[in-house]
Amino acid sequence: MLKRALAITLGAAACAALPAEGEDLLQIYRDAVANDPALASARATWQATQEVVPQARAGLLPAVTLQGNANRQNFYERLHNIDPGFQFSTQFPQYNYTVSASQPLYRKQNLVAYDQAKQQIGQSDYVLAASQQDLIVRVAQAYFDVLLAQFTIELTESQKAAVSENLAQAKRNFEVGTATITDTNDAQAKFDQIVAQELAVQNDLDNKIATLAAIIGRQPKDLKRFRPGFQPDLPVPNAVERWIEMAMRDNTQVQIAKSNYDIAVLEVERQRAGHLPTLDLVASFNQAYQGASASVTAASAAAFDSRLGIVGVQLNVPLYLGGSVDSKVRQAVANLEANRQNLEGARRTAQLFTQTAFTGVTSGYAQIKALEQALVSAQVSYDSTKVGLEVGVRTNLDVLNQQQQVYQTRFNLAQAYYNFVINELKLRQAVGTLNEPDVEQINGLLGS
């Protein structure tokens, strides 16, 4: 009896054969990886963050610039105190260009900024990993929500058929005088209730399918269900302290908060470096040319060509900058404290998340075992109640109530299976290890 009940209920695969063709969890997940906007945004952000290191490194490397200009000058002069007719005018072109180069020899702020950029690169990896793990949980939740909604419809249709048969039997018994009108009314009321429920569960299925479609960017096809024979296992190690210890170390949100804290520590150092001098190696080369052509009464105008090269070091010592450096240091110290508190908050959240997921797995395991037995008991009670009705010691309402208990227990068991799987994924997410192989492992339990 137990094996029969479990085969009927396991994994929401009751009452119907598995479809020959359908999409499994791994296919849905890979479509989500390709089409989910949240993950696509995270990938683009990760790619953009990779550029902070080259930008920060540029502050440590030579900088070379070229500046040039070309113009033509018109000059006119008339001397009134010598000869009213004397005047001088000329036109001459000017060209020059300057090549400047500098190599930082000591700029503490730039060195610290480079270290910050490397920290940002590491943090971006954790941010992307967190987005990928979140997608796995969202896809699995949406996938199993659709399966559970489909199973609810199947249960409702099955219960509707059973109550319809019970209603017909009650009407026949009333017509031959072996039952009262009360039995018919009870069966009719239950039938009407199921008809109303049928509309609600169909609407719920439509909503669940829409949620999954929003993740993968299209309407899903038939989804594969768990094969009969799936049995849950307790987590390994079966000690919440070990899982919390792993979460404190490897949880992605903790790692992101820790990176923010480390960056804030470097920011304090970078702002304090604003008090320090800077030393650069500088070099420049300038070449200029000027030509001229004189007009009527003036002497000939000269043209010239010049070159100038400079190599040296440049020292810049900040003496007083209006208090801006001290203000930025105080601001960085305050931000450091904020990030310290954020890190502590992330650790506490990770601990709570791990504790909740671990409890969900262990209690879910116990709940599944209890519901498996409850389903067997409910089925036995239903069968006994039907016999009692036949011999006149039970009423039709008793049969309907026991029938409802069987269907509700089957639904609760199917829901417990799905919750167990989701909590397993969340537990792995809490300790930062959730990845595609975990999806493949669950996918192996689905029907072909």
Contacts 24+ apart (CB under 8 A), 200-206: 201/149, 201/152, 201/153, 201/156, 202/153, 204/149, 204/152, 205/146, 205/149, 205/150, 205/152, 205/153
Domain assignment present for 84: no
263 confidence band (pLDDT: 50, 70, 90)? very high
199-252 pLDDT, tens digit per residue, is 888 999 999 999 999 999 999 989 999 888 778 889 999 999 999 999 999 999
386-395 pLDDT, tens digit per residue, is 888 777 777 7
- pLDDT, averaged across the chain: 85
User: Whose structure tokens read 């199973």?
Assistant: 151
Residues, the chain: 448
43-85 pLDDT, tens digit per residue, is 999 999 999 999 999 999 999 999 999 888 776 666 666 555 5
Domain assignment present for 82: no
Q: Which domain holds residue 187?
A: 2-63+106-275+324-443
Which helix (H) or strand (E) element contains residue 342?
helix 324-391
Q: Read off the pLDDT of each residue in 134-163 and give the average, rounded to a whole number.
A: 90
Strands 87-106 and 63-78: antiparallel
Domain assignment present for 149: yes
- Rounded CA separation 308/331 (Å): 45
113-127 pLDDT, tens digit per residue, is 999 999 999 999 999
pLDDT at 4: 34
What predicted TM-score, i.e. pTM, was given to this entire model? 0.82
CA 125 to chain centre: 12
Asked if 160 and 403 count as a contact pair (C-beta separation under 8 A), the reply is no
Q: Read off the pLDDT of each residue in 421-439 and give the average, rounded to a whole number.
A: 95
The full DSSP string for 212-236 is HHHHHTS---PBP-BPTT------S
With vertex at residue 385, the alpha carbon angle to CA 381 and CA 391, rounded to the nearest 5 degrees, is 145
One-letter amino acid at 375 equals L
pLDDT at 386: 81
Q: Read off the pLDDT of each residue in 90-116 and give the average, rounded to a whole number.
A: 90
Domain assignment present for 308: no
Domain assignment present for 302: no
User: How many domains does the chain contain in total?
Assistant: 1
Query: 415-438 burial, b if ≥16 CB within 10 A, otherwise e?
Result: bbbbbbbbbbbbbbbbbbebeeeb
348-395 pLDDT, tens digit per residue, is 999 999 999 999 999 999 999 999 999 999 888 888 888 887 777 777
Domain assignment present for 283: no
User: Whose structure tokens read 């199917």?
Assistant: 414
The full DSSP string for 236-299 is SS--HHHHHHHHHHH-HHHHHHHHHHHHHHHHHHHHHGGGS-EEEEEEEEEEEEE--EE-TTSP
pLDDT at 17: 35
Record the tokens describing residue 214, joined without a space: 């929003």
pLDDT at 387: 83
Domain assignment present for 154: yes
Domain assignment present for 304: no
User: Whose structure tokens read 């997410």?
Assistant: 429
Q: Read off the pLDDT of each residue in 318-337 and give the average, rounded to a whole number.
A: 94
CATH code: domain of residue 232: 1.20.1600.10
